[in-house]
Amino acid sequence: EGEAGFRVREENVIEDLTSMQGIVLATGGGSVLSKETRNRLSARGIVVYLETPIEKQVARTQRDKRRPLLQTAEEPMEVLVRLAEIRNPLYEEIADLTIRTDEQSARAVASQIVEQLGF
């Protein structure tokens, strides 16, 4: 199947899920690569971009064997820098709200989202 097949399945799942009401959808990092998916996400809901420094991404993912793009001969930092160069502008393109996660806990990030969205 490879990455291309995975992206097709991901796009189909996101299409189904974005037709639902009252959900929170946490997408995979590469989901924004599809123009159709970006259009669906921005048209069907509020998009919150959780901006995380690459150093933090490396720390969070270094032992995770379920991330095929990081299981290469390249250094994870190099891979994540390359992915960020492609993906970050796409996230920024569709984001209604951007939250820098830096040193915040998941609870603090969630509280900040709720507060900024006025819920």
Res 62: pLDDT: 73
Q: Are residues 95 and 55 in the same domain?
A: yes
Average pLDDT, the chain: 89
CA dihedral 46, 40, 54, 81 (to 10 degrees): -150
Res 53: pLDDT: 92
Q: Are residues 74 and 111 in the same domain?
A: yes
Q: Are residues 78 and 67 in the same domain?
A: yes
**Domains in the chain: how many in total?**
2
Whether 17 has a pLDDT exceeding 60, the answer reads yes
Biggest alpha carbon–alpha carbon distance for the chain: 45
In Å, how far from its chain's centre is CA 113? 15
Res 113: pLDDT: 96
Q: Which domain covers residue 4, as residue numbers?
A: 1-45
To the nearest whole percent, how much of the chain has pLDDT over 90?
Answer: 65
Res 76: pLDDT: 78
Query: pLDDT tens across 58-103, in order?
Result: 887 776 666 656 666 578 788 889 999 999 999 999 999 999 998 8
Res 65: pLDDT: 65
